[in-house]
C-alpha cells in the first residue's frame, strides 16, 4: 500500500634618584637585591602550591572547572538523525510487498509490519532519493541456494540518504545480514541494528553481517551488533566502482564470531578514510587466536589500508552487546538523536 504526505593596577611615579655616583650605585644594588628576593619568594610560593602546602595549584583548579563545564553526552542517543524528507511517500511493507523499485527523484518512508517479515530474500529496496526505515523485524527461515534468497536487507542505487534504524535481522537460515550496492553516491546510515546469526562457511556461503561492493560515498554506523559463523563486516566499496568513499565512520560496533569464524572486519587495500570508535570483535572462546588478544588475528586490510583497525578491541564491550534483542525489532521506539546530530541534506 502506498500513501503520500508533506512534511593594570594604578601606576605610581617613583621618586627622583639622588645625585652623585655613590648613591646611584647603592640604589642599583639595592634594587637588584629586592628584585632577587621577590623572584625567590615567587618561586618558593609556586613550589609550595604545586606540592600542596599552599593549597590546590591554579592549573588543577582550572582543569576541574573545565571538566565541570563539559556537558555530559547522552550515550543512549544515536549519532545521526534521519534525513529531512520532502513530501515523502509512505509504503507499507508486508509479505507480498517486500521488493521495491522506487523513483530516484522522490523520498520514501518504509513502514515495517507489526509482525516479523518472514520471507525469502528479505527486504529489497532499489532506487529512491532519501529512504527511511525505522523499527521492525526481518526473519529468514526458508533455505535457499543463492545468497540473495537468504539475505535480510538490501539497499541498491539510492541517490540521497538511506537511514535504517532499530531493525532486528534474524532467522535460522539467515546467510547475509545487510548488503549495499551504492554506485550513485548515496550516504548510508545504519543505527541500532542487531543481526543474529548469519550462517556460512569457507567452502559454501561466505556469510557477512554487513557487506558492500559498491560505495556508499559515506557510510555511517552507530550501534551495530552482529553474530556470525563466518565473516562480520566485509567492506569493498570500490569493487564495482572507481570512486573512493568520502569516509566510513564506525561507532559502537561489536561483532561476535562462532568457532570457525574467519575475519570479523575486512577492508580492501585502497587508500580511503575510515574512522573507528568503540569497535569490538569477539571470537569464540575455543578460538586459539584469542591467547594474546591480538586484533590482527581477526581483521584484515591491504597495504594502503594498514592501520585501519589499530583501535579495535578484542572481546565484548563492558556493558555487553551494544544492541540487545529486546531493544530493537517489533515495537521499536527510537532513543532519539544527539542535539548536535548532523541531519543529512535531502
**Predicted confidence (pLDDT) per residue in 62-76, tens digit:** 666 655 555 566 889
**Residue of 132 and 259 predicted with greater confidence:** 132
Question: What mean pLDDT do residues 328-342 have?
Answer: 90
Question: What mean pLDDT do residues 205-230 have?
Answer: 96
Q: Mind listing the pLDDT tens digit for each residue in 155-183?
A: 999 999 999 999 999 999 999 999 999 99
Identify the pLDDT of residue 260: 81
> How sure is the predictor about 129, in pLDDT bands with cuts at 50, 70 and 90?
very high
Helix (H, G, I), strand (E, B) or coil at 341: coil
Question: What mean pLDDT do residues 20-24 have?
Answer: 38
> How sure is the predictor about 20, in pLDDT bands with cuts at 50, 70 and 90?
very low
Q: What is the pTM of this model?
A: 0.78
Question: What mean pLDDT do residues 14-32 have?
Answer: 38
Lowest mean pLDDT among 133-137, 214-218, 282-286: 282-286
Q: Which residues of 141-165 are buried (b: 16+ CB within 10 A; e: fewer)?
A: eeeeeebebbbbbbbbbbbbbbbbb
Identify the pLDDT of residue 292: 58
Distance CA 268, CA 283 (A): 21
Identify the pLDDT of residue 261: 87
Distance CA 277, CA 275 (A): 7
Contact of 155 with 131, CB cutoff 8 Å: yes
- Estimate to the nearest angstrom the gap between the alpha carbon of 265 and the chain centroid: 14
Report which of 172, 115, 97 is spatially closest to residue 140, judged by C-alpha positions: 172
Phi, psi (degrees; rounded to nearest 5) at 312: -75, 140
Identify the pLDDT of residue 201: 82
Burial class, 338, CB count within 10 angstroms (exposed 0-12 / middle 13-18 / buried 19+): middle
Question: What mean pLDDT do residues 108-126 have?
Answer: 98
Instruction: Decide if pLDDT at 26 tops 50.
Output: no
Phi, psi (degrees; rounded to nearest 5) at 21: -70, -45
Distance CA 177, CA 164 (A): 13
Instruction: Decide if pLDDT at 324 tops 90.
Output: yes
Instruction: Decide if pLDDT at 262 tops 90.
Output: no
Lowest mean pLDDT among 125-139, 161-175, 192-206, 316-330: 192-206
Identify the pLDDT of residue 7: 41
Amino acid at each position: 500500500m502506498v500513501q503520500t504526505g508533506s512534511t593594570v593596577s594604578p601606576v605610581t611615579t617613583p621618586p627622583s634618584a639622588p645625585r652623585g655616583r655613590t648613591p646611584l650605585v647603592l640604589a642599583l644594588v639595592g634594587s637588584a637585591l629586592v628584585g632577587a628576593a621577590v623572584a625567590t619568594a615567587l618561586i618558593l610560593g609556586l613550589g609550595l602550591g604545586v606540592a600542596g602546602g599552599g593549597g590546590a595549584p591554579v592549573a588543577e583548579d582550572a582543569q576541574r572547572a573545565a571538566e565541570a563545564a563539559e556537558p555530559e553526552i547522552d550515550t543512549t542517543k544515536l549519532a545521526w538523525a534521519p534525513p529531512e524528507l520532502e513530501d515523502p511517500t509512505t509504503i507499507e511493507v508486508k509479505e507480498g510487498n517486500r521488493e521495491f523499485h522506487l523513483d530516484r527523484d522522490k523520498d520514501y518512508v518504509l513502514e515495517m509490519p507489526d509482525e516479523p517479515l518472514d520471507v525469502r530474500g528479505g527486504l529489497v529496496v532499489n532506487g529512491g532519493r532519501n529512504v527511511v526505515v525505522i523499527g521492525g523485524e526481518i526473519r529468514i527461515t526458508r533455505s535457499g541456494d543463492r545468497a540473495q534468497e537468504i539475505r535480510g536487507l538490501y539497499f541498491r542505487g539510492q541517490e540521497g540518504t538511506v537511514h535504517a534504524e532499530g531493525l532486528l535481522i534474524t532467522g535460522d537460515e539467515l546467510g547475509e545480514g545487510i548488503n549495499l550496492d551504492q554506485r550513485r553516491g548515496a550516504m548510508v546510515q545504519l543505527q541500532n541494528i542487531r543481526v543474529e546469526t548469519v550462517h556460512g562457511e569457507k567452502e559454501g556461503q561466505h556469510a557477512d553481517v554487513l557487506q558492500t561492493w559498491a560505495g556508499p560515498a559515506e557510510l555511517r554506523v552507530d550501534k551495530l551488533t552482529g553474530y556470525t559463523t563466518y565473516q562480520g563486516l566485509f567492506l569493498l566499496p570500490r569493487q564495482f566502482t572507481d570512486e573512493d568513499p568520502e569516509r566510513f565512520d564506525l561507532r559502537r560496533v561489536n561483532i561476535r564470531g562462532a568457532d570457525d569464524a574467519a575475519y570479523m572486519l575486512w577492508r580492501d587495500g585502497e587508500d580511503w578514510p575510515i574512522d573507528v570508535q568503540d569497535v569490538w570483535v569477539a571470537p569464540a572462546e575455543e578460538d586459539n587466536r584469542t591467547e594474546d588478544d591480538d586484533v590482527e588475528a581477526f581483521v584484515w586490510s591491504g597495504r594502503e589500508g594498514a592501520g585501519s583497525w589499530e583501535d579495535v578491541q578484542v572481546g565484548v564491550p563492558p556493558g555487553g552487546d551494544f544492541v540487545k534483542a529486546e531493544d530493537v525489532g517489533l515495537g521499536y521506539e527510537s532513543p532519539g538523536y544527539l542535539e548536535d546530530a548532523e541531519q543529512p541534506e535531502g
